[in-house]
Every structure is written in structure tokens, then in C-alpha cells.
Structure 1
Amino acid sequence: MSTKSIKWLILTIPTVTIGLWEYVRHRYLLPYLSMEAGNWLAPVLVFTVTMIVLTQLFTLLEHMQEELKEARAEKAALEERERIARELHDGIAQSLFLLAVQTDLLDRGAGGERADIRAFRRTVHEVNDYVRQAIANLRYPAASDSRPWTELMESLRADFAEETGIGVEWEWRLPEEKLSAKEKVELYASVREALINVRKHANAERVRVRSAATGAGWRCEVSDDGAGFDEERMRQADKFGLPIMRQRADEMGWTFGLVRENGRTVFRIEKKGER
């Protein structure tokens, strides 16, 4: 039912009710109902119909208006994210790409012998990768209406397996309805960043992605059978990924962990249920 139809019903139902009452009263009830009693019953009848029918219509109208307000706010947020992504792509990303090309040429000119140039070159490429990842994160929600979130997660698994050749064990048991729209975006980005770290640092043969509901909360893990990690080495090699992941988890109120368990490196994020 449209908003316009609901408004017309709210306007016309009291009028139609009193009109029908007066017709029935004068046509059929005059021999049995006095004029004074009929006058008293008219407002009672209108009030009763109003309470039973119109309150439901008002509730439905308020619900529709709230949905429209949320839809407008979401659309405005997505448009703003798309604008920021476009500015990043047209500005910073293009500049970083040019800088990466120039550092590659500089490194070749130095014969690859200068450690400071190699370190600078590596940092430029890392920043370039993370800026492009940020652009992808910003643009991801724009496609959420056309592709189910579970399908996007499955696509993430398939793309990772195809691009890296690493075997993927996928045990996804987290119902979509357990997550808000923002949580879906942030969880997708977190899992993707964890898989990127496996590809870049782990030298793994297999990776396992598991998720499940835990009462009112949930848990998600990405683990691999790679060479493990040294915290100091990872801080030097990955100056952006892990801090961003921790910050994302903190902002969402999730717990974040990166540990070594039973010969596997385990990245874990968890949302505790409210007590």
C-alpha cells in the first residue's frame, strides 16, 4: 500500500463511517433507537473505528516513513562513499601509481644495490596497494543491493583460491541476519585483509575461514598453515594492514586477535553478545 493510499484512507474512513451509520440509523433503526441514543452512539462508533483501524494505518504510515528516511540516509552515505572513492582514485591513487613507476626506474638505475631505495620502493607499493584496497572498500556497499552479501563472501573465497592457488577450507555458518549493514561491510573488509596477509606473508599451502554465531554474538577466524609470524617482523613488513584491522575492530566493538595455535597462524575477530 502506498503512502498516498494510506493518507486517503485516514481522511475518508471517519467520513464514510459516520455516513454509513446515519444511513443505517435512519433507514433501519429509527423504530428501535431514539434520536438521543443515536446521537450518543455516533461519536462512540467513530471513536471505535478510529482506534481499531486508523491507529493501524498511522503505525503503517510511520513505519513506511521511517523506512524511506533510512533509505535516503543510506543512499546519501553510498553516494558520499562513491564520491570519496572517485577522488581517491583520480587523485592519490594516480599519483601513487606514478610514484611507484618512478621508484621502479630509480631502483633499476641504481642496479638494485641501494637498500634505502628498495625500502622506499617497497613502501610506495604497499601504500599504493592499501589505497586501492580502501577504494574497493568504499565502493563495495554500492553493489550490496544487487548482490547478496553471502554471494560476495563466496566470491571472495573463489577469487582468492584462483589468484593464489592456495587451498581454501570454507566453513561459513554465520547467518546474514546476525549482522547489520555496516557490520557486513567491515567484516567483509576484515576477512579480505586477512586473506591478503596470508598471500603476502604466510607462504601457506592451505587457509581455513570459519565463522559461526555464538549466542547473541558471533566469531570469525582466518587461519593458515604457513611459516608463522614474528611480531616485530610483521610490524616492519606490514605497517598499514594490521593497524587498520585493529582499528576497524575497535570501532565496531569487536575483539581482535592474531595468535599462533597448534602450528597455525590464526586471525580472529569476535563480537560478544550483550549481557
Structure 2
Amino acid sequence: MNTQQIKWMIFIVPALVIGLWEFIRHEWLLPYISMELGNWMTPLIVLLFSVFINYKLFQILERNQHELEQEKMKQAIINERQEISRELHDSISQSLFLLSVKIDQLEKNNEPQTYEQIQLTIDRLQENVRHSIKQLRTPNITNWKSAIQSTIEQLNSEKPEVEFYLDWQASESSFSSEEKVQFFWIIREAIMNILKHAKNVTRVTINASPKEIKVIDNGTEPSSFDKHGSHYGIEMMQDRAQSVGWKLTINRENEQTILRLARKEEAN
């Protein structure tokens, strides 16, 4: 039974129950049930039948909506994988082209500095490939709070001296499937940047509410969070936020670095 049929059943069932009860009452029960008693019994019978039947229909409707939400989540993850694959392909293609150019220069000029440039290009290529492969390992984001907790535990193993606090005031229904997928990767990228670049960081706090999400660390301001720089991770997070109509900002307040995600109407 699809959603449209269920909605029609919810509308039609009370009318059918009333019609059937009135027919039975007037045809066979008038000698036994007075009009006054019958009038009192009518809403009670309709209520009982409606609660019993509509409860079942609402259960089916909720199950269908849950399955639809799951499918949307899976499709969003598939789309995300395709986007990462395209980025990985472009990154490798550009790096290989740059390598070929550097090698040609080396053959012609035999310049020592070209060796360093080639090594730098190779290191950058390896970093991009490792980064993309990690992102392709998509966890189960059906319950995205649990997915974030699992990710925190995994990343925390790299720096056990860092304490993580999760202040979660958002429900599963606060965000769409696409927002959940994009925010998961933004939070993950932010934590990875903190663990990799922040100095003297001992505490990371993640605040989540229906209107905004914050990732806060108490480390020394890292160069990778320079808003005017060209750091790939920052650009990727900003693109992800914009794709779902949110705005990402990074500020330094009270000796803390605060990455803030907010709806564009709230951020302005």
C-alpha cells in the first residue's frame, strides 16, 4: 500500500464506519437500542474503529516514510561517492600532467631544483589520493550522530591526548538526508584539520542544534584555517556547505578556533 492509498484510507475509513453502523442500527437494532442510546454509541464506535484502523495505517505510513528516507540517504551517499571519484580523477590527472612537464624540463635542463619540484608533486599526489580514499570509505550515516561518534573515536586514537565533547541538541529530523551527508564530511574534515594542524590542542567540542553546528578547539590558531588562504580542506567544506544552502565561517574567539555552520538566513 503506497502513501497516497494510505492517506485516502485515513479519510474514508471514518465515513465508512459511520455509514455501516447507521445502516445496521436502523435495519436490525432499533427494537433493542433507543435513538438516544444509539446517538451516544455512534461517536464511540467511530472513535474505536478509527483508532484501531488508523493506528495500523499510520504505522504503515511511518514505515514507508522511514524507508523513503533511507533511500534518499543511500542516494545522497552514492552521489557523494561519484563526486569524490571525479575529484580524485581530476587531481590525479592534473598531477600526472604536471609531473610529465617537470620531467621534460629535467631532461632538457638537468636542473637540481626540478627534482625537488617533482618530489613535491608526487607527495601532493599521494596526499590527495589518501585523502580521497579515506572519504570513499563511507560509514553508515543512517544514524548520523552515531556515525560522528564512531568517527571521533577513530580519529581520537591518533591523538589520545585530545578530549572530545559532543553537545548534541539536534534530532534526526532536524536536517535533510543531503544535509546529514554533507555535514558529516564537514565535521570529519574539521576534526582531521584540527588533529593535523592545530598546536597545543587539548579539547575539541562539537555543538549541534537545528540552526547551527560548531566545531571548537582550544589550540593555537593553525595556518590551515586562514580564511584568505587556498587550503583545499577549507574550500571543500565551504563548497559542501553552500551546496545545501548553509554558510561556513571560521573565526578566532577567546583563544579558540570556531568553525560555524549556519543556515544562510541565520548567518546573515
TM-score interval, smaller chain: 0.5 to 0.7
For residue 23 of structure 1, what is the aligned residue in structure 2? Answer: 28
Alignment of 1:204-215 (within 5 A): 204-212=199-207
Contact kept? 1:229, 1:265, Cα under 8 Å: no
1:170-249 aligned at under 5 Å gives the runs: 170-177=164-171, 179-182=174-177, 183-202=179-198, 204-212=199-207, 217-226=211-220, 228-229=222-223, 235-236=229-230, 238=231, 240-249=232-241
| Structure 2, unpaired ranges of 5+ | none
Partner residue, 1:116 = 117
Q: In the TM superposition, what is the alpha-carbon distance from 1:194 to its structure 2 partner?
A: 0.7
Asked if 1 retains the 8 angstrom alpha-carbon contact of 2:227 and 2:250, the reply is no
Shift in CA distance, 99/253, structure 1 to aligned 2, threshold 3 Å: closer
Q: Structure 1 residues 89, 223: closer, same or farther in 2, change over 3 A?
A: closer
SS in 2 for 1:205: coil
Alignment RMSD:
5.0
Contact 2:207 2:215 in 1 (8 A): no
The answer on 1:260 being equivalent to 2:252 is: yes
CA positional deviation for 1:173? 1.9
Q: What amino acid sits opposite 1:260 in the alignment? A: R
What fraction of aligned residue pairs are identical, expressed as a percent?
Answer: 16
The Cα offsets for residues 190-228 of structure 1, whole Å up to 9 and x where unpaired, read as 2211111123333x23243324467x6344123242363
1:25-40 equivalence runs, <5 A: 25-26=30-31, 28=32
**Alignment gaps of 5+ in structure 1:** none
**Cα distance in 2 for residues equivalent to 1:71 and 1:247:** 28
* Residue 132 of structure 1 pairs with residue 133 of structure 2: yes
Could you say what secondary structure the match of 1:200 adopts?
helix
Deviation of 1:48 after TM superposition, in Å, equals 5.0
| Aligned partner of 1:168 among 155, 162, 178 | 162
Q: CA deviation at 1:79?
A: 4.0
Q: How far off is 1:175 after superposition?
A: 2.2
**Match of residue 10, structure 1, among 13, 35, 42:** 13
C-alpha distance in 2, partners of 1:116/1:159?
34
How far off is 1:254 after superposition? 3.8
The one-letter code matched in structure 1 to 2:24 is G
Residues 81-160 of structure 1: matches in 2 within 5 Å? 81=76, 83-84=78-79, 113-114=113-114, 115-136=116-137, 139-140=138-139, 143-145=140-142, 148-160=143-155
Task: Please show how residues 68-83 of structure 1 align to structure 2 within 5 Å.
Answer: 68-81=63-76, 83=78
Kindly tell me: are residues 210 and 130 of structure 1, through their superposed partners in 2, closer, same or farther at Cα, counting changes over 3 Å? same
Q: One-letter code of the match for 2:13? A: I
Cα pair 2:212 2:260 within 8 Å, conserved: no
Call closer, same or farther: CA 1:243–1:63 in 2, change over 3 Å: farther
AA paired with 1:191? I
Q: Distance in 2 between matches of 1:10 and 1:230?
A: 61
- When the two structures are superposed, what TM-score results if normalisation uses the length of structure 2? 0.63
Query: Is the 8 Å Cα contact of residues 223 and 266 (structure 1) preserved in structure 2?
Result: yes
Q: Give the C-alpha shift of residue 121 in structure 1.
A: 2.1
For residues 85 and 221 of structure 2, the distance between their equivalents in structure 1, rounded to whole angstroms, comes to 38
The answer to whether the 8 Å contact 1:258/1:266 transfers is yes
Q: How many residues are aligned here?
A: 251
Q: CA deviation at 1:71?
A: 3.4
Q: 1:177 to 1:63 in 2, by over 3 A?
A: same
